[in-house]
A = this chain, B = another copy of it.
Amino acid sequence: MTGTELASGRARIAEPGEGIGLDELALAARNHGMPLEALRYDVTPPGLHYVLTHYDIPAVDPAAWRLEITGAVRRPLRLDLDDLRDRPAVTSRVLLECAGNGRARYEPRPVSQPWLLEAVGTAEWTGTPLAPLLAEAGVSPEAVDVVFTGADHGVERGVEQDYARGLPLAEALRPETLLVWGMNGAPLPPQHGAPLRLVVPGWYGMAQVKWLTRIDVTDEPFTGFQNATAYRIKVDRDEDGEPVTRIRPRALLQPPGWPEFMTRERFLRAGDTVLTGRAWSGRAPVGQVEVSTDGGTTWTEAALDPGDPAHPFAWRSWSCGWTARPGRWELLARATDETGESQPVEQRWNRQGMENNLVQRVPVTVLG
Contact = CB atoms under 8 A, between A and B. Distances in A.
Contacts of A190: 38, 41, 45, 48
Interface stretch (A256-264, A293-301, A323-331): A256-264
A18 to B, nearest CB: 6
A29 B104 CA distance: 11
Contact of A33 (B11, B29, B46): B29
Smallest CB-CB A-B distances: 9 pairs = A19-B19, A32-B32, A47-B47, A20-B20, A28-B28, A30-B35, A156-B261, A37-B56, A155-B260
Contact of A191 (B25, B26, B45): B45
Interface string A159-192: 0100000000000000000000000001001111
Given A29-B115, A40-B59, A56-B259, A47 B191 contact: yes
A151 B112 CA distance: 35
Interface string A262-291: 111001000000000000000000000000
Given A29-B28, A29-B32, A35-B53, A154 B259 contact: yes
A229 to B, nearest CB: 12
Contacts of A20: 19-22, 24-25
**Copies of this protein chain in the complex:** 2
A114 interface: yes
B54 A116 contact: no
Nearest to A192: B47
Given A19-B21, A27-B262, 4 more contacts: A25-B116, A29-B114, A29-B115, A186-B186
B57 A104 contact: no
Nearest to A114: B25
Interface string A103-136: 0100000011011101000000000000000000
Given A19-B18, A116-B25, A262-B23, A30 B33 contact: yes
Interface in A314-336: none
A12 to B, nearest CB: 8
